[in-house]
Amino acid sequence: MELKELVAIVTGGGKGIGKTIAEKFYGEGARVAIWDIDLSSAENLAISLDPSGDRTMAVKVDITNEGEVANGTSEVLKKFKRIDILVNNAGISRHRPIEEMSLEIFESVLKVNLTGTFLCCRAVTPIMKKQGGGKIINIASLGGRTGRPGVGINYAASKAGVIGLTQTLARELGPSGIYVNAIAPGPILTEQTKQYPAEVFATWNVGRAIQKDGLPEDVADAAIFLGSARSDWVTGVTLDVNGGILIR
């Protein structure tokens, strides 16, 4: 029970990696607020984890919408009275070759992945300061670390931005006891990525040292570490979780 009694928000928690983070956090004893733009997926998960509703809640939050982020934050405070962990997991990708990438497509990915992360960090900061601390975990990507095939320049730029935001926010908030770290997953098998042909998934894994595909659980375990007291001298880092595709 690494997260017993702690209150965690997981953005984009209704599906994919975020869903597994929410499940594993719940299993470690946390009270979990599942935020998603798709309310029904968040509600289904909240109810399936805890039919009594005591330790889970679902809120419709589009992380690009300041009002919805503010409302989600107050809902969590109203129900759970505090916020110990924020996992900024919600993210999208819209890949096009540069000549076909419109300004709208470019900016839409930055808006969710980077601006949305900023808005959620800003919303919890005064609460964590008042409590004397907290842990923010931003889900970046291997694509923000190094040039990758098939990622998209908008996605790569947004995730590199998340890493920069993480480093500087860790300096800014460290004196207030707030930790800010990131996880940079390599290719992870989710319902969505499973739809790609195996050959395509294999191309994303070229050079991998560990002969095992990446699973949402691998990211969730790293998030448990960064959300728990086990990482109490770790801030500003981006933890590579990629089976050794990138070793540096």
Ligand X SMILES: NC(=O)c1ccc[n+]([C@@H]2O[C@H](COP(=O)([O-])OP(=O)(O)OC[C@H]3O[C@@H](n4cnc5c(N)ncnc54)[C@H](O)[C@@H]3O)[C@@H](O)[C@H]2O)c1
CB 206, min distance to ligand X, A: 15
How many other β-carbons are positioned within 10 Å of the β-carbon of residue 53?
12
- 30 contacts 6 by C-beta, under 8 angstroms: yes
Least distance from ligand X to the Cβ atom of residue 23, Å: 13
* Choices 6-14, 78-86, 145-153, 224-232; region in contact with ligand X by CB under 6 A: 6-14
**Interface with ligand X (CB under 6 A), residue from 9, 10, 34, 116:** 116
Closest by Cα among 39, 114, 24, 106 to 71 = 39
Stretch of 62-70, 94-102, 126-134, 169-177 lying at the interface with ligand X (CB under 6 A)? 62-70
Q: What is the distance between the alpha carbons of residues 191 and 154, in angstroms, rounded to a whole number?
A: 23
Q: Pick the piece of the chain touching ligand X (CB under 6 A) from 13-21, 77-85, 121-129, 163-171.
A: 13-21
Cα Rg for the chain, rounded, in angstroms? 17
CB of 11 vs ligand X, minimal distance in Å = 6
Is 155 designated active site? yes
**Cβ atoms of residues 138 and 164 within 8 Å:** no
For the CB of residue 121, give the shortest distance to ligand X in the complex, in Å: 14
Integer Cα distance of 172 and 174 in angstroms: 6
CA nearest 201: which of 53, 212, 30? 212
What is the distance of C-alpha 30 from the center of its chain?
16
Tell me whether residue 72 or residue 134 sits nearer to ligand X (CB atom). 72
Contact characters 119-158, ligand X, x per CB under 6 A? --------------------x-x-----------------
Whole-angstrom distance, CA of residue 47 vs CA of residue 12: 16
190 binds ligand X (CB under 6 A): yes
Give exposure, 60-69, as e/b (b: 16+ Cβ within 10 Å): bbbbbeeebb
Q: With beta carbons less than 8 A apart as the criterion, state whether 137 and 87 touch.
A: yes
63 scored as a contact of ligand X (CB under 6 A): yes
> Could you give the CA distance from residue 207 to residue 161 in angstroms, rounded to a whole number?
25
Kindly state whether residue 31 participates in binding ligand X, applying the rule CB under 6 A.
no
Q: In the set 50, 193, 221, 225, which binds ligand X (CB under 6 A)? A: 193
Among residues 26, 155, 179, 196, which one is catalytic?
155
Q: Could you give the string, one character per residue 212-241, with x where binding to ligand X holds by CB under 6 A and - elsewhere?
A: ------------------------------
Out of 112, 127, 128, 163, name the contact with ligand X by CB under 6 A. 112
**Are 113 and 92 contacting, i.e. CB atoms less than 8 angstroms apart?**
yes
> Which residue type sits at 219?
V
Residues forming the active site = 155
Binding residues for ligand X, rule: CB under 6 A, are 11-12, 14-18, 36-38, 41, 61-64, 89-92, 112, 116, 139, 141, 185, 187-188, 190, 192-193
